[in-house]
Chain A
Amino acid sequence: MTKHALIALTCAALLGASALAATKVSPPKGPATISLPGDAGMAFKPGPGAGVVMANCLTCHSSAYVSTQPQLTRAQWTAEVTKMKTAYGAPIPDDQVPAIVDYLVANYGKP
């Protein structure tokens, strides 16, 4: 039984193969100005530890860098927080790391 078929079309040949138009384009002049929306209304979920998370994490990035992650394990969230300290220089006090990890696991982690 003929159930379906695929057909390759050759009409593309009709389009020809004209070269790219070599039109002269001048570099821009003057200022270009935009206004970025900051965190666009996004925020960390409320709950225990949210304050310490906001105080440490929002310096460099919006909450979406956390909230869009897949559900990470405690080990993975710990690795992320450690990376923020060691690779990106986030001045997170060592004694605040457990609270941050607890919050991330509870709100954005693997149950």
Chain B
Amino acid sequence: MDLGRGRFLAAAGAALAAGGIPRGAFSQNAATVQMPFANGERPLVAFPQKRPLILLTPRPPQLETPFAVFDHGVFTPNDAFFVRWHLANIPQSVDASAHRIAVSGEVNRTLSLSLDDLAAMPQVEVAAVNQCSGNSRGLFAPRVAGGEWNNGAMGNALWTGVRLRDILDRAGLKASAKQVQFDGLDGPPLPATPDFKKSLDVDVARGDDVIVAYAMNGAPLPVLNGYPVRLIVPGWFATYWVKMLSSITVLDHADDNFWMKTAYRIPDTPDNSVAPGSTGYPTIPINRMRVRSFVTNLADGAALPRGRTALRGIAFDGGSGIRRVEVSVDGGATWLPMALEQDYGKYSFRRWNGEFVADAAGSYTIAVRATANDGSVQPATPGWNPSGYLRNAIETYKVTVA
């Protein structure tokens, strides 16, 4: 059988190749890293409770996870987890024992919950990906203003806490309840700057898997990830995962604060995409994540030995789970399913693996494509929107075999 460049071998039961994994450009020891876009040189800096991460901005802090971290396990270590704050007044000391979550608004009884109160409620845990709305913004063409991330503004953790629904039921929602608004301890340096608040429709907020988390991978949250409690909205972009959660307000209307009405909007168009320069289209608040997949053990531009090279990676979507991950080395003419590894739930990274075998020297482009259980699949070409959200096109990795 010879299908030319697109020939695949199925080799069920093949042993996992051990060792010799090229690391390409990945390095966590270098003082700086170069993102794959213009003006993308970044220092690696260790912030409190963090290992050296890719420093995008120090104040308010935006720290990106070096991509090689995602090759080391399905869960992203707390000290490597990306950081993104909107407003510079971030408490640098938070007392969990004194912390309270105020519940008010369209409720039958207001609450002031301590962490001891949460400890007395049923404990739940969920593995879920937390991804910045603007993850990969730096790869947009044409470029857009904003946080110029590469692909590392995401992470996967096991979150432990209590169901938001249990809190809302304890307060008792009035019939007038329409949305639930969340606020944290952070605030703006200027009173005129809108405080960062986010809202979810009541039916979303009451979902089985929306939790108020006090632990991340079994440990307290780092301060920069929201100690002592943050909201976890599995499947939804991180903008809703309010850190240092201090206030839950039930609204009788759709939240019209700046961070809902003006910021974090996506075009209400096919694929939520528009042509650069477009105006006048309707928008909606950003919501669920789109299906994505990555190779984690090869950098773009890697030099590989002739013969076998292990391929490993991750995939995730907005909450239906991963059905299939495929790789192509012939420009998408043919795709071979990769082996999916342990399933940690529909909101988690799903690791996958396979092997690339090169019998001849040359250049190859490895493309990886995931399909979610809801049938959604990564597009071959990226969409575009002026805020640089939702990027999820098929990733490609150019490699050379000597």
**A residues adjacent to B (C-beta < 8 A):** 1-13, 15-18, 20, 22-40, 42, 59-62, 64-65, 67-72, 76, 80, 87-91
- Residues in A with CB closer than 8 Å to B263 are 87
A30 touches B58 (CB 8 A): no
**B residues adjacent to A (C-beta < 8 A):** 2, 5, 7-16, 37-39, 42, 45, 47-49, 55-61, 87-88, 90, 92-97, 115-116, 118-119, 123, 125, 127, 138, 143-145, 147-148, 158, 160, 188-194, 214-215, 218, 220-221, 223-224, 227-229, 258, 262-263, 308, 311, 327, 329, 336-345, 352-360, 362, 364, 401
The total of interchain contacts (Cβ-Cβ below 8 angstroms) comes to: 233
A59 touches B48 (CB 8 A): no
- Residues in A with CB closer than 8 Å to B92 are 33-36
Closest Cβ of chain B: how far from A101's Cβ, in Å?
14
Tell me whether chain B's interface is mostly helix, strand or loop, or mixed: loop
B158 touches A20 (CB 8 A): yes
B190 touches A59 (CB 8 A): yes
Q: Measured between alpha carbons, how far is A38 from B61 in the docked complex, in Å?
A: 9
B190 touches A27 (CB 8 A): no
Q: Measured between alpha carbons, how far is A71 from B40 in the docked complex, in Å?
A: 11
B119 touches A37 (CB 8 A): no
A11 touches B58 (CB 8 A): no
B57 touches A3 (CB 8 A): no
- Residues in A with CB closer than 8 Å to B59 are 36, 38-40, 61-62
Q: Measured between alpha carbons, how far is A27 from B190 in the docked complex, in Å?
A: 33
Q: Contacts A9-B354, A10-B12, A17-B343 given: A34-B223 contact, CB under 8 Å?
A: yes
Q: Contacts A20-B127, A28-B214, A70-B39 given: A37-B227 contact, CB under 8 Å?
A: no
A32 touches B223 (CB 8 A): yes
Cβ contact of B16, chosen from A9, A22, A36, cutoff 8 A = A9
Given contacts A61-B57, A70-B138, 9 further A-B contacts (CB under 8 A): A6-B9, A11-B15, A12-B352, A20-B344, A20-B345, A27-B119, A29-B96, A36-B90, A68-B56
Closest Cβ of chain A: how far from B295's Cβ, in Å?
12
Cβ contact of A65, chosen from B57, B228, B341, cutoff 8 A = B57
Cβ contact of A7, chosen from B11, B61, B344, cutoff 8 A = B11
Can you list 6 residue pairs at the A/B interface with Cβ under 8 Å? A1-B2, A6-B355, A7-B9, A7-B11, A31-B95, A40-B45
